[in-house]
Amino acid sequence: MANFDFPGQSNFYKGKVRDVYFIGRDWLVMIASDRISAFDVILPRPIPFKGQVLNQIASYMLDQTKNICPNWLVDVPAPNVSVGKKCQPFKIELVVRGNLVGHAWRTYSSGKRILCGASMPDGLKENDPFPVPIITPSTKAEAGHDEDISPDEIIEKGLSTKAEWDVLSKYALQLFERGKSIAAKRGLILADTKYEFGKIGDDIYLMDEIHTPDSSRYFYADGFAQRQQAGDRQRQLSKEFVREWLIEKNFMGKEGQVVPAMSDEWVNTISHRYIELYEKVIGEKFDPQQLSDEETYDRIITSLKKHSST
């Protein structure tokens, strides 16, 4: 993917999977690449159409939740590109968990019942639903691993005020309920996800992507209860299968571990899984598109001219 240079560009940030161009003081262009990361490490090969899948799911979900809270997105000029308002980010992620999965399960199975200040009741099995969703925040690290943090610590460290945290947590739980409702209509269970927020002036905005396979975990609802009762593995749509493959290959992002090689077959499998999630979540056939760098650039310029003048 090309590195672009836009008129009025004031900064550039290359994330693990997205390239972000800052335009002037008020705008940014976010390009979802086909890079894939796990355990905070970029894996060696890109995944075809992954950027388009993430970008289009996120834009759909942002549109479906804009009556809950304002969000940054203004336009989607190309399949893997979003243009929107620049926010001053809170340096935290709000992870909302409806089911005992992933990091929460690993914490729970070690015997702990408190995660990021949230209580987890006794007697749960992996993938069981919590009585009510919990929020388990983490710091947003510039590099390396994000760290667990409690709401009290967030306020103590000045990462948000008490009043801001109250709004952030309220928004996060409302967004999660909307995400669960959308998923349920598609025969899915939204098990957990993360949200990022920022401010424009005094107003809090939802940022980044939401309810995508990179930021969320979905289970198939059909047969979920029976599989839980039998102790069988749940069918899920998320990036967790990539993490599980890496764990099997003795890689968890720890010092001294080597990222395993990725075969053509495995790369295509990951691509198909991302497309499957798109079609399941959105309920429409995926339309793969590949634009030239020149056309992508021209579409972004047209979008910026149109919206920055309004």
Q: What is the pLDDT of residues 38-54, one digit of tens each?
A: 988 999 999 999 999 99
Return the pLDDT at 37.
Answer: 92
Give the integer Cα–Cα distance in Å for 121 and 299: 51
Return the pLDDT at 3.
Answer: 84
Say what percent of the chain tops pLDDT 90: 87
Return the pLDDT at 40.
Answer: 84
Return the pLDDT at 142.
Answer: 60
Domains and CATH numbers, the chain: 9-87+266-308 (3.30.200.20), 89-238 (3.30.470.20)
Give the integer Cα–Cα distance in Å for 263 and 15: 24
**Nearest Cα residue to 302 out of 294, 73, 22, 19:** 294
Mean pLDDT value of segment 104-129: 97
- How far CA 302 is from CA of 76, 180, 245, 306, in Å, comes to 11, 35, 42, 6
Q: Quickly state the pLDDT bin for 178 (edges 50, 70, 90).
A: very high
Q: Quickly state the pLDDT bin for 308 (edges 50, 70, 90).
A: confident
Q: What is the mean pLDDT of the chain?
A: 94
Return the pLDDT at 144.
Answer: 55
User: E strands along the chain, which residues?
Assistant: 9-14, 18-23, 27-32, 37-38, 41-42, 73-78, 81-85, 88-89, 92-99, 114-115, 118-119, 129-135, 138-139, 188-200, 203-207, 216-220, 236-238
**Range of lowest pLDDT (50-54, 93-97, 125-129, 235-239):** 235-239
Residue given tokens 């109250």 in the structure block: 166
Say what percent of the chain tops pLDDT 70: 97
Give the integer Cα–Cα distance in Å for 22 and 29: 6
Mean pLDDT value of segment 140-144: 63
Give the integer Cα–Cα distance in Å for 258 and 4: 31
Name the residue type at position 67. N
**At residue 143, does pLDDT exceed 80?**
no
Task: Return the CA Rg of the chain.
Answer: 19
What digits encode the pLDDT tens for the residues 76-109?
999 999 999 999 999 999 999 999 998 999 999 9
Mean pLDDT value of segment 209-232: 93
Return the pLDDT at 310.
Answer: 58
Mean pLDDT value of segment 278-293: 94
Return the pLDDT at 104.
Answer: 97
Partner residues linked to 94 by β-bridges: 195
